[in-house]
Each structure stands twice: as C-alpha cells, then as structure tokens.
Amino acid sequence: MKLEFLSFDFEKFAKEMQNLKDKKGFDFLVTIVGEDFGEEGLGCVYILENTNTHERTSVKTIAKVVDGENVIPTVVNLWKGADLLEREVFDFLGIKFLGHPDMRRLFLRNDFKGFPLRKDFQATNEYTLDDDVEPDYGLEYSLDRDGHLQQKENRLFTSDDYVVNIGPQHPSTHGVLRLQTVLNGETVKRVYPHLGYIHRGIEKMWESMTYPQTLALTDRLNYLCAMQQRHALVGVIEEAMEVELTDRIHYIRTIMDELQRLDSHLLFTSCCAQDLGALTAFLYGMRDREHVLNVMEETTGGRLIQNYYRIGGLQDDIDPNFVKNVKELCKYLRPMIKEYMDVFGDNIITHNRLENVGPMSLADCINYGVTGPAGRASGWKNDVRKNHPYDMYDKVDFEQVTFDTCDSMGRYLVHINEMYQSLNIIEQLIDNIPEGDFYVKQKPIIKVPEGQWYFSVEGAAGEFGVYLDSKGDKSPYRMKMRPMGLSLVGALDPMLRGQKIADLVTTGAAIDIVIPDIDR
Amino acid sequence: MEVRKPKIKAIPYDEFKDNESLEKIVDELHEGGVNVVTGNLDSLINWGRSNSLWSLTFATSCCGIEFMACGCSRYDFSRFGFEVTRNSPRQADLIMCAGTITHKMAPALKRLYDEMAEPKYVVAVGGCAISGGPFKGSYHVVKGIEEIVPVDVFIPGCPPRPEAILYGMMQLQRKVKVEKFFGGANHKQSKAERELGVSNAELVARRLGDHRRETIVVTDVPQEFVEELKENKEEQA
C-alpha cells in the first residue's frame, strides 16, 4: 500500500485522531512508526484500519519541540495497543508522548545513552555486566498553562505489593521475555512486560544495508515464520519498484507460506502441550514438523532459516520432487492433526486448563490490536489473506477460522483448524503450478523510488507488516516492522488481570509469542 | 600409566585427532604421570559424567529451536545422555548458549554462569554466540560470548543443524573424558581456596589472567537495607 499521509500538526492532532476513530471508524491501530525525518524533525506515522470496511489510512505528525524535548500527544486513550508502541518510539527516538501514563524505556537498558534510531546516533560497543537499575515508576508528561513540560511519577506498584519476576530465563516464556507480575496472593493484579533481552537493532542495521542485504535478517525474527516475514519485506520492495512477478512465483510463494504456517502451527501445538506438561503431544508434533521441514529443505536448502525469496522472485526453482513430496505430506498430515486432538486437544485436563483462561473480548482484541489466531478466537475476522489479499490468496478457496469463545481453548482450536485450511490451500495449488520463470531479473544495484509504502502478510501469529521509507537510494531511509507478538504481549496484562498466576503460563502458551520477533 | 584414549560410542578416536586443544590437555596430564588407582577411578567417573551431561535450557533465539529438534524423536540426543535439560543453573552441568546475547542479556548470562556449580562448561551454539554472527554490526549485540564467559566448545552454523549440535556435544564429552577428577575437581581444599572462598578452577583461571570465571559480587548494598536488617535482628534478639 502506497501511503498518502494525512498530516496533522501538534494542536489539531489529538482532536483529528479522535475524529478518525469515532466518525470514520478507524478502530484498529495497525502500528506506529517513529521516524527521524531529517530537517523536518522527529515524527510519527500512524497506520490505521477500519475493521468493517478494511480501509486503511495513514497519518503523519511531526513532534513539537518544547523545552528542548520532542513531544506528541498520546493516542493511548483511543487505542490501547498504542501503549507499547509509543514506549517503543520513546525508546528509539526520544519522543515523549504527552499523557502516556508510563514513559519508560521498553527495549533498551535504562542507562543506555542516546536514541538509536535518530540519524545522529553514534553507536558504542561498550556494555556492562552490572545489573540495570530500574525505576519502579513510570513518568507521565504534560504541558502546563505556560506551555512548559511537566512530569509526574506514576508508581508501578506499591511497597506492599508482591512482585514476581518471570523471566528472562524461564522455560515457558518461549524465549527471553520478562514479565514483572504484581500479585495478590495467587491472583495476578498487573503484568508489566520487559522486553529487549534479544533486541538486536535490526531496523537500525537495515539503514546502512543495500536492499538485497536487508533480506537476510528477516528470517531470524520469528524463525518459525521465516518465509512470511521475508515475503513482507520483498513484497514492500517489489511494490515500491513496481515489479511484475510471474504466476509461477505467486504460486510457489503461496505454497511456501502455507508450508511455513504448518511448521509454525505444529510447533505451536507441540509447545502449548509441553507448557501444560503433556510431553507426548510435544514429541508427536515435533515428529511431524520434521516432515514439513524435509519438504522445504529439499527446495531451499535450509531447515529453519530458509533464505528463499529474493527481490523479483525466488532464489531457485522448486525441487523436481517437490510436488510429489508435498502431496505425500498433505496425505500424511491430515490424520496426524486429528491425532493431536485425540492425545491432547480433547483431553479433559486440557479443556479444564484452557477454557475461560486469559479471556479477551472482541472489542478489546481490536483495541489492543491482537491480530492473528489470538484475535480470531474472539471472533475478529482479521486475516490479512482475506482482507488485503496478496499473491494467490484471493483465488484459492479457504475458510477464515473464527471462534467466539474468547479464551485460550479457542486460540488453540484456531491453530488446529488453520492447519486444515493450510492443507486445503496447498492442495488447490500444488497440481497447477504454471510454467514460467522463477526469477524476474533485476538491475545489479537495486534502487527504490522515493516514497513510503506499507505491505503486510498474515504471519503465523498475526499480521506482519513492513513500512518502507525510501529516498531513492540503494539502502532504505527507514524500514520498520510491525512485529506479530508486540501487541500480543501488550494484551497479556488485560487478559491476565484477576486470573491465577498458573494461568499466566497457559495464556502465554496459547497466544503464540516468539520473542526475537517482538524485540527485533 | 597413561591416560587412556577416550572412547566415545559412535565416533572413533581417530576422527577427533585434529583437535589440538584436547590433545594438549592429554599431553599436560601425561607430564605429571597418573596414579594407577586414581587414574582408573577417574576414567570410571568421567565415563559417567560424560554420558549424563545436563544442560541448562538457555535458548535465546533460532538455535534454541534446533536444540529442541535435537531432543525430539528424529535426532534424539538421549542416545548420548544429553536429554535431561534443567531450568535451574544449580542443577546443570553446562550452559548451552543457543542464540544471540545482547547487551541487556549479558548480565543475566554472567549471573547464570556464576550460579552454576563446578565443574561447569559452556557451549556456544551458532554464529551469534560465537562472534555476533549476522548482527555483528549492531549497537546492542555482544560480539561473542567468549568476552563474558569461557567457552569450551563452539558449534558454528546459523543455526547449526542438529547433527552439528550432536557433534559439538560429543566434543564436549571428549573434553570431559580427559579431565582429572581426583586431584582435579575432587581434592582437599587448599589454603588459598579456603581463604579466598573460590574454587580451584577459578584460582587457575586467575593465575592465567582470565577474569571471566570470577563471580560478580554485589558490594554496594543500600544503607537503608543494611539498617533494616540490623533492626530486624535486634528485634528478634
């Protein structure tokens, strides 16, 4: 999608955003992109969606400089999902959001010097092995009558509260996530996520890379969605360059995306079972995942990191046995998915532990931006493949799986049923892969024309999008991802308030978060 | 008596001959000679230790998934005795550092390493843990965990295939097999150890000028906390 910004200045911004939400129905905040616009100053790009018409729009605003600090009014009162997104912008660019109750760093250490995504940032390679001193309050900024910046401390918890740190080294957080959990007895009062334990600064690295070089890093985000994430990145570059792909490329990309989804969902169902203590289901799932990996590996050469798509097509043609192997895989997997339900999904313990755990209503899901299977379990039809079709998805016949149970069991079942849908899609395409080139030749040095684009795909755990701002060079001016998991982590707090601490693990398991994707 | 050439099931000794650092350890052990009794007991104990290496689950990114795949039915590293993974560093023999270590994570890694009991080992899995890998140019990535903790085995790859992880673990087995347990890890506490309160391995590391084994001791305890503790004690008394 080429972005045609609506530009609002500082004074009108809060009112216009309210209008967009209330009158125009843009109730889903897709992402906030913080950007150093150079001479214009620092600013933000908001991408919004109307969930009824699936119309998207984008808003650009430039931060106002008050007392030497860049400020923008917060939108957290309109879209709750903005909470972590605004903290991310503050962390990377130093823009302070007026009225945001909790302006702390999100990814970097509190003693980190500078703001990495500003263009004048000078990286040092120094680090310390001392513990980070974390404030137990968040700052709320506001402007007083004279237009000066005021700050107020909001305590995160009182000295009477019982606070448990879960992570960063914990087996059931699926990576190095840290959840600071405030408890009342066994009941969760509040969850504060601490991110950045695997923040690698990919977006900053991209700014000094040529476009083909940028591709290598996407596979290492959510390594179970390597294909889809790379798809989003090549998609945005191809859209900006107006590359016409052959049908063969579209077919193969769609099949590969779905194979990757199977891989990810199989690992999800396995790990979900293991987090609940069902080791058998874990081993069954991992066994079948190897079959999927085999099929992909024969074509791409990689087990986990595939490096298969490139700008203008694919690295190489499919393996001669690919069609045969995929058909065998589809035949093999269908009864196996049934088996997971037999050994784990229909088990009474599973039902007891997952039902009504981590509930979130449809309205909250949209407000917090909980995309993917977690949102669909609350009945939100948010599948990017349906709403903003790309490649072959508007030509194949598949059903968007939704539930209205709004709980963890629903999320698990969405994953199970989506595997059947993925198999359906693959079976429709695999016999009809047309002849043609697997690669449309590009110039040796790839330059993208000036402009801003946003392209998103349906990853295994939600919408994965890439925002590209090009100044016509061979490397991007700013590229930013919409990670699948960030909004899910933001939603953990409302899901878990009032629930038991043991349900934190279950909710985290059923929501399908992968931390390197969140931290980037 | 000579230290026996270590036997590892499935891989013949000759295939490891190219590993100079291990050959060096064997040679060093040979220099002082080995007691018949303790030498034999050593090889018995090392046989046991090397076939039940428990790793700490410390997976930060992609390599962790391959580590999981290693544990599952296709690769099944319980054949070698690695299948028990521990979530507590107190119970683990080695850290399997699978994935990128960032500046924010570095103190946590160091702390986990400090918390482990001797003898302890570190396996660096994948490009990121070895040198920063594809993220070498980043502002927030440690360029190899060797800067923080001493590493015993490096397993290259991005991520390494499960076969490579198995091979690396077998290299570690071999390292364990040539170690001295009696007179090495298991010995009468020496004066220096008692006075300084540190392990033998740490003393050796200090002598060599390697400070990575030194534990981080928190000294700047807040004064209020100390006073509060004193008051509590007095009340109890």
Cβ atoms of A233 and A218 within 8 Å: the answer is: yes
**pLDDT score at B1:** 46
Residue B168 sits in the same domain as residue B193: no
Residue B140 sits in the same domain as residue B217: no
User: A1-121 falls under which CATH superfamily?
Assistant: NADH:ubiquinone oxidoreductase Nqo5 subunit (3.30.460.80)
How far apart are alpha carbons B87 and B99 in whole angstroms? Answer: 17
Low-confidence winner among A250-264, A357-371, A421-435, B75-89 (lowest mean pLDDT)? B75-89
Q: How far is CA A171 from CA A196, A367, A508, B158, in A?
A: 17, 30, 12, 22
Which of B155, B177, B199 is the last residue in one of the domains?
B177
- Name residue A506's amino acid: T
Structure-block tokens of residue B208: 């060599």
Q: Is the pLDDT at B185 greater than 70, yes or no?
A: no
Q: Is the pLDDT at A494 greater than 50, yes or no?
A: yes
Q: Is the pLDDT at A53 greater than 50, yes or no?
A: yes
Cβ atoms of A186 and A500 within 8 Å: the answer is: yes
Total tally of structural domains belonging to chain B? 2
Greatest Cα pair distance, chain A, in angstroms, is 73
- Is B8 inside a domain boundary? no
- Name residue A498's amino acid: G
DSSP-based three-state secondary structure for A463: strand
Q: Is the pLDDT at B2 greater than 60, yes or no?
A: no
Residue of A nearest to B103 (CA): A127
How far apart are alpha carbons A520 and A477 in whole angstroms? Answer: 18
Low-confidence winner among A78-87, A89-98, A192-201, B34-43 (lowest mean pLDDT)? B34-43
Query: Given its phi and psi angles, is residue A369 left (phi above 0), alpha (psi -120 to 50 degrees) or beta?
Result: left
**pLDDT score at B8:** 60
User: Cβ of B57 and A131 within 8 Å?
Assistant: no
- Is B199 inside a domain boundary? yes
Percent of chain B with pLDDT over 90: 0
Half-sphere exposure of A500 (CA within 13 A, CB side): 7
Residue of B nearest to A264 (CA): B65
Range of the domain at B114: 13-177
- Is B115 inside a domain boundary? yes
User: Cβ of B65 and A304 within 8 Å?
Assistant: yes
Which of B125, B143, B177 is the last residue in one of the domains?
B177
For the stretch A111-122, pLDDT in tens is 888 888 888 888
Query: ipTM of the assembly?
Result: 0.84
**pLDDT score at A383:** 87
What is the CATH number that goes with domain A211-489?
A: 1.10.645.10
How far apart are alpha carbons A81 and A487 in whole angstroms? Answer: 6
Contacts of B163 in chain A (CB under 8 A): none
- Is B50 inside a domain boundary? yes
CB under 8 Å to A38, separation ≥6 — which residues?
A119
Structure-block tokens of residue A283: 């081993």
Q: Supply the mean pLDDT for chain A.
A: 86
Residue B19 sits in the same domain as residue B70: yes
Q: Are strands A95-98 and B153-155 parallel, antiparallel or unpaired?
A: unpaired
What average pLDDT does this structure show over A22-49?
A: 86
User: Cβ of A124 and B139 within 8 Å?
Assistant: yes
Contacts of A199 in chain B (CB under 8 A): 102, 104, 140
Q: How far is CA A449 from CA A171, A204, A469, B38, B149, in A?
A: 45, 20, 10, 74, 47
Chain A nearest-CA distance from B39, in A, is 39
Q: Are strands A95-98 and A309-310 parallel, antiparallel or unpaired?
A: unpaired
**Phi, psi for B208 (deg, rounded to 5):** -85, 0
Contacts of A197 in chain B (CB under 8 A): 60, 102, 104-105, 108
Q: Is the pLDDT at B38 greater than 50, yes or no?
A: yes
For residue A288, which of B162, B74, B164, B160 has the smallest C-alpha distance?
B74
Residue B103 sits in the same domain as residue B80: yes
Q: Is B103 on the interface with A (CB under 8 A)?
A: yes
CA–centroid distance for A187 within its chain: 28
Helix (H) or strand (E) holding A172: none
Q: Is the pLDDT at A279 greater than 60, yes or no?
A: yes
DSSP-based three-state secondary structure for A327: helix
Q: Where are the alpha helices (DSSP H) in A457-500?
A: 485-496
Residue B87 sits in the same domain as residue B161: yes
Residue B232 sits in the same domain as residue B147: no
Q: Where are the beta strands (DSSP E) in A377-474?
A: 451-459, 462-470
pTM for the model stands at: 0.83
Chain A nearest-CA distance from B162, in A, is 10
Please provide the distance, in angstroms rounded to a whole number, between the alpha carbons at the two ends of chain B: 60
Domain ranges of chain A: 1-121, 211-489
- Is B105 inside a domain boundary? yes
Q: Are strands B94-98 and B55-59 parallel, antiparallel or unpaired?
A: parallel
User: Cβ of B134 and A170 within 8 Å?
Assistant: no
Structure-block tokens of residue A164: 């448990």
User: Cβ of A201 and B72 within 8 Å?
Assistant: no
Cβ atoms of A379 and A404 within 8 Å: the answer is: yes
Give the relative orientation of helices B62-71 and A279-300 as an angle to the nearest 10 degrees: 120
Query: For residue B128, what is the DSSP state?
Result: H
Residue B149 sits in the same domain as residue B215: no
Q: Is the pLDDT at B145 greater than 70, yes or no?
A: yes
Q: Is the pLDDT at B180 greater than 80, yes or no?
A: no
User: Cβ of A196 and B102 within 8 Å?
Assistant: yes
DSSP-based three-state secondary structure for B223: helix
User: Cβ of A200 and B135 within 8 Å?
Assistant: yes
- Is B3 inside a domain boundary? no
How far apart are alpha carbons B93 and B49 in whole angstroms? Answer: 9
- Name residue A339's amino acid: E
- Indicate the Cα dihedral angle B41, B46, B47, B51, nearest 10°: 150
For the stretch A158-196, pLDDT in tens is 888 888 888 787 777 677 888 889 988 888 888 998 888
- Is B6 inside a domain boundary? no
For the stretch A305-352, pLDDT in tens is 888 888 888 888 888 888 888 989 988 988 888 888 888 888 888 888
Kindly report the CATH number assigned to the domain that includes residue B158: 3.40.50.12280
Structure-block tokens of residue A234: 């090549």
- Is B225 inside a domain boundary? yes
